[in-house]
Amino acid sequence: MAFAGITGIGACLPEKILTNFDLEKMVETSDEWIRTRTGIKERRIADENTAASDLATEAAKRALEDAGLKPEDIDMIIVATVTADMPFPATACIVQKNIKAVNAAAFDLEAGCTGFIYSLSIATQFIENGTYKNILVIASDTLTKITDFKDRNTCILFGDGAGAIVVSRVEEKGILSNFLKSNGNGGDLLYIPAGGSRKPTTIETVRKKQHYIQMNGSEVFKFAVKVMGEAAESALKMANVSLEDVKMLIPHQANQRIIDAAARRLNISRDKVYINLDKYGNMSSATVPIALEEAVKMGKIKKGDIIVLVAFGAGLTWGANVIKWIK
């Protein structure tokens, strides 16, 4: 069997920053409330000319450069997103065109904020079964485009960004395990009511703001605390790795209190948990690869380190990957 491992990584964040103080002028909220309830101080916002594919393209170019590969070396492109440029064509196909990855198959994967975890798992299968050599896994989301900035329950949480990795056929096993799970019964805790085939967009749906994210925050919170720890433990068990051997846990960056509760449950010390949500907020599927890229850039992750990636999201979905950093 062939082995899969991460050979390149890149990220792209919009330049525009929206701070909690800016939000104070938009809705009835305060910097203090947002910081203490979520840990978020500011987030990045894609401007009106920037779509998910634009951020994805830049992140992909950086990951390719880091891997030392040319676009034509890529066999497959998977884009995890809930904010595709449009229902079709797939955002992955737009990225393929932009970077000129002429030999690739390309498709989008929708698993809410767990999209990157799912996509890495799919890429692992195609590498391990010998079908492909190099796969671009990109997570790109522009949640601020589907957020009602008059709704203080949601608008304080989200930001935009993209992260990308190249998963390649390698000599040493770099992806140690992938654990995926979902429970469709919780679909209505976090969803967008209109704009699909159930309720196509009409003037009425727009008037009722049904094209924006609707969320039951406290129920999502309880679910997240429960499954983050479970997912990490399950993936570690599958990889036959003990928590003591883990250098760093990179969780989905939704809420500081969710991360703290998951860390407590796992009994992992806070200095082993990577957190950057204060700067970026919840960027859906993009939070995990962006945090991974940042940790690598800062020298916090070195060759041979074992890392756990864990996320939860709409669906409901959750999952974790255990990886060994092989670069």
* Residues involved in catalysis: 113, 252, 282
DSSP state of 196: S
**Burial profile 298-322: b = 16 or more Cβ within 10 angstroms, e = fewer:** eeebeeebbbbbbbbbbbbbbbbbb
Helix 52-67 vs helix 91-99: crossing angle, to nearest 10: 50
What is the sign of the dihedral through the CA atoms of 22, 25, 26 and 31?
positive
Tell me how far the alpha carbon of residue 223 is from its chain's centroid: 18
Q: Which is nearer to ligand ACO, 205 or 216 (CB)?
A: 216
The 239-278 site mask, x for binding ligand ACO (CB under 6 A), equals ---------------xx-----------------------
Q: Which is nearer to ligand ACO, 6 or 155 (CB)?
A: 155
Alpha-carbon span 161 to 280, nearest angstrom? 8
Query: Which of 4, 137, 164, 224 forms a contact with ligand ACO (CB under 6 A)?
Result: 224
Query: Which of 2, 24, 37, 279 forms a contact with ligand ACO (CB under 6 A)?
Result: 37
Query: Which of 136, 166, 170, 190 forms a contact with ligand ACO (CB under 6 A)?
Result: 190
Least distance from ligand ACO to the Cβ atom of residue 65, Å: 30
Alpha-carbon span 313 to 119, nearest angstrom? 14
- 191 in contact with ligand ACO (CB under 6 A): no
- 313 in contact with ligand ACO (CB under 6 A): yes
Stretch that binds ligand ACO, among 72-80, 132-140, 151-159, 160-168 (CB under 6 A): 151-159
Q: Which is nearer to ligand ACO, 251 or 313 (CB)?
A: 313
Stretch that binds ligand ACO, among 101-109, 209-217, 237-245, 265-273 (CB under 6 A): 209-217
Task: Give the CA radius of gyration of the chain.
Answer: 19
308 with 232: CB under 8 angstroms? yes
- 314 in contact with ligand ACO (CB under 6 A): yes
Q: Mind giving me the DSSP string for 268-294?
A: --GGGB---HHHH-B-GGGHHHHHHHH
- 29 in contact with ligand ACO (CB under 6 A): yes
**Burial profile 74-103: b = 16 or more Cβ within 10 angstroms, e = fewer:** bbbbbbbbbbbbeeebbbbbbbbebbebee
Alpha-carbon span 247 to 301, nearest angstrom? 8
- 282 in contact with ligand ACO (CB under 6 A): yes
Alpha-carbon span 209 to 268, nearest angstrom? 41
Identify residues 58-117 at the interface with ligand ACO (CB under 6 A): 112-113
- 287 in contact with ligand ACO (CB under 6 A): no
Least distance from ligand ACO to the Cβ atom of residue 78, Å: 18
What residues have CB less than 8 Å from 317, skipping those under 6 apart? 111, 112, 113, 114, 118, 180, 181, 182
Least distance from ligand ACO to the Cβ atom of residue 259, Å: 10
- 217 in contact with ligand ACO (CB under 6 A): yes
Q: Which is nearer to ligand ACO, 152 or 279 (CB)?
A: 152
How many residues contact ligand ACO, by CB under 6 A? 24
- 173 in contact with ligand ACO (CB under 6 A): no
Q: Which is nearer to ligand ACO, 103 or 183 (CB)?
A: 183
**Burial profile 259-284: b = 16 or more Cβ within 10 angstroms, e = fewer:** bebbbeebebeeebbbbebebbbbbb
Q: Which residues bind ligand ACO (CB under 6 A)?
A: 29, 33, 37-38, 112-113, 143, 152-153, 156, 190, 213, 215, 217-218, 220-221, 224, 254-255, 282, 284, 313-314
